[in-house]
Amino acid sequence: MRTHSTLGSYKPHFWTAQAWQDVQGEAGTALRTALDDFLKALIWWEPEVETDAEHVDAGVFPSTDGLWRPGPLIARGPQTVAGLHRCWREAAPALPQLREPYARHAACPGRWIADFEEFTELLSGWAEVVGEAQRRQWGLIALPI
């Protein structure tokens, strides 16, 4: 997997979410539902301190009370990961239908996620992580570094 230098920065994820918002109206219902579910579980649209716990599945930690974190945290258990893997399997074959709408509505040279290839590259990177975690029956934890 080629990475888009996301380590240490949330910006590629933010711009991926923004690009999805720009094109999701052009997606068919099945793709929109699958990709919405996939992204909402993995990427913060507008994190707020008081709602960060909503991104932590029950049972991942014994308690979220007093859970120290330097910023937003996403923690997904194995059951959620299996669901995310199913979402990706549904979404991936339909992604090419977004190429043209992406060029019209979301492409932005100079942005962290400038074009359709970079958009699908970041999504595919997440899918690779989700797929491996699902294969091992693991959960996922994503946090800013």
Instruction: Give the C-alpha separation, 71 to 126, whole Å.
Output: 20
Residue 58 has which token pair? 């029950």
Q: What is the pLDDT of residue 116?
A: 96
Q: Which of 145, 143, 130, 8 is nearest to 73 (CA)?
A: 143
Q: What is the pLDDT of residue 49?
A: 46
pTM: 0.83
For the chain, give every domain's residue range: 30-46+71-145
- Encode the chain (145 residues) as per-residue pLDDT tens digits: 344 445 556 778 888 889 999 999 999 999 999 999 999 888 865 545 455 456 788 888 887 677 666 566 788 999 999 999 999 999 999 999 999 999 999 998 888 888 999 999 999 999 999 999 999 999 998 776 6
Across the chain, which distance is largest between two alpha carbons, in Å?
A: 46
